[in-house]
Amino acid sequence: MSRKLIVATSNPGKLREMAEYLTGLNWQLELKPQELEIAETGTTFIANARLKASEVAKALGEWAIADDSGLVVDALNGAPGIYSARYGKTDTERITRLLTALGEESQRQAKFICAIAIARPDGTIALETKGVCPGEILRETRGEGGFGYDPIFYVPELQKTFAQMSSETKNRVSHRGKAFAQLLPELAKL
């Protein structure tokens, strides 16, 4: 018998992505209700993940999982960071704003960070993990795949942007893939 795990998002794309990572585990994923809004008031990725998982779990009396992730650019003092999704209205606007902010800066190191938290039905946190994928920001977009900052986030060891990778490769090397890889053995024990 599978147990219900509420995904603290209204985004069906994120639900599908999480379902891919959790294949073979005895959890049935469901989106949180659209009307249940959780303000991301944390100052770190893990704080926001904990907050979303805990609030959704308490509101629904069910197990809940949440992630918070974003891009941290060294030369921009960590920006856009926890504001990655709010750095512009569209992916194109966010990329343009980031490239403009970096300008001719030669130090283009960056990393994607993903924090995941799982809360019990009473809102207490049962598990949490963090995955990091180091890379650098290109001066122009490359590749057609992915979303968000993927076309400008370059992973030197693979000599590709996230947007140039197959979804299998991206799932393996990305911040989210690394976070889920750490989480899966623990989640199987719950």
**Residues that are catalytic:** 68
- Looking at the DSSP bridge assignments, the partners of residue 112 are 71, 133
Classify the C-alpha dihedral 141-144-146-147 as positive or negative: positive
In angstroms, the CA 153 to CA 18 distance is: 21
In angstroms, the CA 42 to CA 4 distance is: 26
Classify the C-alpha dihedral 171-55-111-108 as positive or negative: positive
Number of residues in the chain: 190
